[in-house]
Amino acid sequence: MTKTADLEADIGEILLTEEAIASRVADLGRQIAADYAGRTLTLVSVLKGSLPFMADLMRQIPLPLRIDLMEVSSYGGTATESSGLVRIIKDLSASIADEDVLLVEDIIDTGLTLNYLVRYLRGKNPASLRICTLLDKPARRLVDIPVDYQGFEIPDQFVVGYGLDYGERYRNLRFVGVLRPEVYAGE
Ligand code: IMP
């Protein structure tokens, strides 16, 4: 069985500690709760990477809210590069028409996945649609997307942990770290 210590050995640098993440998520929750006071919010999260962020963020927003989950995957590309061609594996389970929707994402890299999702969700006629991402890598952006709530801006490095994976591993790390390039060398 793989031990957490073995997973941690593949990490070159811890970028965001568990404490830094928790504190920033609490800030975001306060900001979102203030902005949506008096309204009923629907949080839409995208599996699987956003799972820990969604679970922590929703508990920092003391408003009546609904949650829904989508799962998408990109065609082609590699384990570290998204192709922008998105396939919906799991769709919303309820209508978001006339709802105030906040899309909760783990990371925006090129922005291609999010661009697709925003268009898709707009097509469902929500009353409003805003974007909240824990991590933002603006250096790699290929499409311009307005981000309403951002946890951390990070450099152009491939990161794992707190939901983010490489080849489906490392999601259970409690921090966000930079994967040693030798782990994905030869990809
Ligand atoms: P985009 O379409 O290039 O913005 O990529 C978005 C998706 O790629 C994210 O939701 C992640 O699943 C994945 N991704 C992008 N950068 C990273 C990273 O540094 N680590 C792990 N996954 C990443």
Q: How far away, in angstroms, is 82 Cα from ligand 1 center? A: 7
Nearest residue to 117 (alpha-carbon basis) of 77, 82, 163: 82
Contacts of 120 (CB under 8 A, 6+ apart): 88
Which residue in 166, 72, 164, 163 sits closest to 118, CA to CA? 72
**Could you tell which of 45, 88, 109 is best to mutate to test the pocket of ligand 1, judged by most ligand atoms within 8 Å of the CB?**
109
- Runs of H (alpha helix) within 44-111: 51-58
CATH number of 19-154: 3.40.50.2020
* Ligand 1 atom with minimal separation from the 108 CA: 4
Cα of 100 to ligand 1 centre, how many Å?
A: 25
Active-site residue, 144 included = no
Q: What is residue 76's predicted lDDT score, i.e. its pLDDT?
A: 62
The pLDDT value given to residue 74? 74
Residue closest to 27 by CA, chosen among 134, 105, 129: 134
Q: Using CA atoms, how far apart are residues 134 and 149, in angstroms rounded to an integer?
A: 8
Calculate the average pLDDT of the chain.
Answer: 92
How many whole angstroms separate alpha carbon 187 and alpha carbon 166? Answer: 11
In tens, the pLDDT along 99-141 reads 999 999 999 999 999 999 999 999 999 999 999 999 999 998 9
- Count CA within 13 A, CB hemisphere, residue 139: 6
* pTM over the 0.95 mark: no
pLDDT of 169 higher than 70: yes
Tens of pLDDT along 9-53? 999 999 999 999 999 999 999 999 999 999 999 999 999 999 999
Selecting among 10, 106, 109, 136, the annotated active-site residue is 109
Give, as one character, the DSSP assignment of residue 180.
P
Residue 101 CA to residue 65 CA, distance in Å, equals 10
Given this model, what pLDDT does residue 158 score?
92
What distance in Å separates the CA atoms of residue 60 and residue 146, rounded to the nearest whole number? Answer: 23
